[in-house]
Chain A
Amino acid sequence: MIEAIFMWLGRTSVGTALQQSTAGFAATEALHILALSVVGGSILVANLTVLGRVLKTTAPETVFRQLQPFYRGALVLVAISGMMLVAAGPYKYYTNPLFPLKLGLLVVAVTLHAILSRRLNTQSVARRLAIASLVVWTSVVITGRWLGLI
Chain B
Amino acid sequence: MTLVQQLYDSPLATAIRESDNLFPILQTFHILGTIGLAGTIAVVDLRLLNVAFRREAPAAVAESLLPVTWVGFAIMAISGGLLFAAQSAKIYGNVFLRAKLLLLALAIANVVLFHSTTYRNIRAWGGEVSPATAARVFALLSLLLWSAVIVTGRFIAYF
Q: Do A44 and B36 touch across chains, with their CB atoms under 8 A apart?
A: yes
A-B contact count (CB 8 A): 95
Q: Do A141 and B39 touch across chains, with their CB atoms under 8 A apart?
A: no
Q: Do B35 and A44 touch across chains, with their CB atoms under 8 A apart?
A: yes
Q: How many residues of A contact B (CB 8 A)?
A: 34
Stretch of A2-10, A48-56, A95-103, A117-125 that contacts chain B: A48-56
User: Considering the complex, which residues of chain A in the window 1-54 have a beta carbon less than 8 Å from any beta carbon of chain B?
Assistant: 22-23, 25-27, 29-30, 33-34, 36-38, 40-42, 44-45, 48, 53-54
Q: Do B53 and A66 touch across chains, with their CB atoms under 8 A apart?
A: yes
Cβ of A106 < 8 Å from any Cβ of B?
no
User: Considering the complex, which residues of chain B in the window 53-93 have a beta carbon less than 8 Å from any beta carbon of chain A?
Assistant: 53, 55-56, 60-61, 64-65, 67-68
- Residues of chain A touching chain B, judged by Cβ–Cβ distance below 8 Å, are 22-23, 25-27, 29-30, 33-34, 36-38, 40-42, 44-45, 48, 53-58, 62, 66-67, 70, 138, 141-142, 145-146, 149
Residues of B in contact with A, size category = 20 to 34
By beta carbon, the residue of chain B nearest A36 is B35
Known: A37-B34, A45-B40, A55-B64. A142 touches B28 (CB 8 A): yes
Q: Which residues of B contact A42 (CB under 8 A)?
A: 39, 43
- Residues of chain B touching chain A, judged by Cβ–Cβ distance below 8 Å, are 24, 27-28, 31-32, 34-36, 38-40, 42-43, 46, 52-53, 55-56, 60-61, 64-65, 67-68, 147, 150-151, 154-155, 157-159
Q: Which residues of A contact B157 (CB under 8 A)?
A: 26
Q: Do B68 and A44 touch across chains, with their CB atoms under 8 A apart?
A: yes
Task: Name 13 A/B residue pairs within 8 A (Cβ), A-sorted.
Answer: A30-B155, A37-B34, A37-B39, A41-B35, A42-B43, A53-B68, A54-B68, A55-B61, A67-B43, A70-B52, A141-B28, A142-B28, A145-B28
Q: Which residues of B contact A34 (CB under 8 A)?
A: 147, 150-151
Q: Which residues of A contact B147 (CB under 8 A)?
A: 34
By beta carbon, the residue of chain B nearest A137 is B35
**Complexed CA–CA distance, A22 and B155 (Å):** 10
Q: Do A37 and B42 touch across chains, with their CB atoms under 8 A apart?
A: yes
Known: A34-B147, A146-B24. A40 touches B61 (CB 8 A): no
CB distance from A83 to the nearest CB of B (A): 18
Q: Report the 10 A-B pairs with minimum CB-CB distance, sorted nearest first.
A: A41-B39, A40-B35, A30-B154, A30-B151, A145-B28, A26-B158, A37-B38, A54-B64, A66-B52, A55-B64
Q: Do A141 and B155 touch across chains, with their CB atoms under 8 A apart?
A: no
**Complexed CA–CA distance, A3 and B157 (Å):** 30
Q: Do B52 and A45 touch across chains, with their CB atoms under 8 A apart?
A: no
CB distance from B108 to the nearest CB of A (A): 17
Known: A38-B42, A58-B53, A58-B56. A141 touches B151 (CB 8 A): no
